[in-house]
Structure 1
């Protein structure tokens, strides 16, 4: 990709991400974003169709830059995997933005992208694990259920005031995902 294109996209992502920390997405205009990024409105539209797609890209880039990832293979154990702590830490560090985009007035585009990414990770993780726990269930149904559960727990955690620490959220999420644990044995 052309360096100028990448630089403009990064500037737009950073601008929207910063603005989304300050106020709700529906209060932001393309002109606000372009001005903060130091580009004109036509540059915005050369790279993005709308601000929600830009925000989804910005959140993806921020998660990647933070090294946040979801564990590729979820296996039962006594404690949540480190990758889950790292992923939730990214949400915690950007809680104000995520509260806005995951809440009732949030972004359908961002929620859809997060859900799709989690569903893919879950399906791939189950396939790679060789687990037979979900035999007889379509993997897309399992992926949708687990992704929806994870996003629900994350959204409820972010909405709490005061917000409990990442370690508490990881424990909550891990316990909800594993349930009583008997099915894994």
Structure 2
């Protein structure tokens, strides 16, 4: 009886992006980012981007369906190159000081403040805002679930708590970018880190939900 088994299939090498495709996408990223630093996003047409990138419109549509997707990808790539990928914040720790990665992300926003003001503003990019919201929601939700979040008497679902915190975080970042003079990135990072307390400490608000003060007894007793 032949007990031999077939060897497992060889691992397939990761697909590599064609250098020509990568070069064209870099040109498109750079073109849109430079234009977005100069004027509002709603005044930028695909033809403007193609012209700045020295390609034709048909080539643009071979790579991106619209300028919204291009902008979101370009900003993601800029953050990655700056070492400011928010997903790397997980797992959140309980330190009082914001992590270096969070400070780097705020530095990235600060260095591109005009661009992010336009992207996150009222006439900005819904897709860029949605991606940022999705990443922050993942971070907050994972933190809440990992640190024993309790729904309390209000039976507050984790998803609702995460949505509330995420909305506040985006509001803080947007307001900070609009401030003149703008406070330092370290100070802004400390604001963000403080707002993430529920997601990085073990249910810090449970005392408030149960009417128990920090002293360990019900308030007023």
Same fold (TM over 0.5): yes
Offset at 1:178? 2.6
8 A contact 2:150–2:206 mirrored in 1: no
Q: Distance in 2 between matches of 1:131 and 1:177?
A: 12
8 A contact 2:107–2:185 mirrored in 1: yes
8 A contact 1:15–1:33 mirrored in 2: yes
Q: Secondary structure at the match of 2:196?
A: helix
Query: How well do the aligned residues superpose, as a CA RMSD in angstroms?
Result: 2.1
Offset at 1:31? 1.2
Output one character per residue of 1:137-162: Cα deviation in whole Å (capped at 9) or x when no partner: 54433332222121111001001011
- Structure-to-structure mapping, 1:38-53, within 5 angstroms: 38-53=54-69
Q: Which residue of structure 1 aligns with residue 172 of structure 2?
A: 153
Change in CA separation of 1:146 and 1:73 when aligned onto 2, cut-off 3 Å: farther
- Structure-to-structure mapping, 1:97-176, within 5 angstroms: 97-127=115-145, 130-134=146-150, 137-176=156-195
Output one character per residue of 1:96-145: Cα deviation in whole Å (capped at 9) or x when no partner: 10000111111111111111122123333444xx3102456544333322
Output one character per residue of 1:51-110: Cα deviation in whole Å (capped at 9) or x when no partner: 111100000000001010332122333222222111111111110100001111111111
Q: Distance in 1 between matches of 2:55 and 2:159?
A: 41
Residue 96 of structure 1, aligned match among 86, 108, 114: 114
Contiguous gaps of at least 5 residues in structure 1:
none
8 A contact 2:91–2:143 mirrored in 1: yes
The TM-score normalised by the length of structure 1 is 0.88
The TM-score normalised by the length of structure 2 is 0.75
8 A contact 1:68–1:83 mirrored in 2: yes
Q: Which residue of structure 2 aligns with residue 183 of structure 1?
A: 205
Structure number with higher helix proportion: 1
Q: Distance in 1 between matches of 2:81 and 2:206?
A: 33
8 A contact 1:134–1:142 mirrored in 2: no
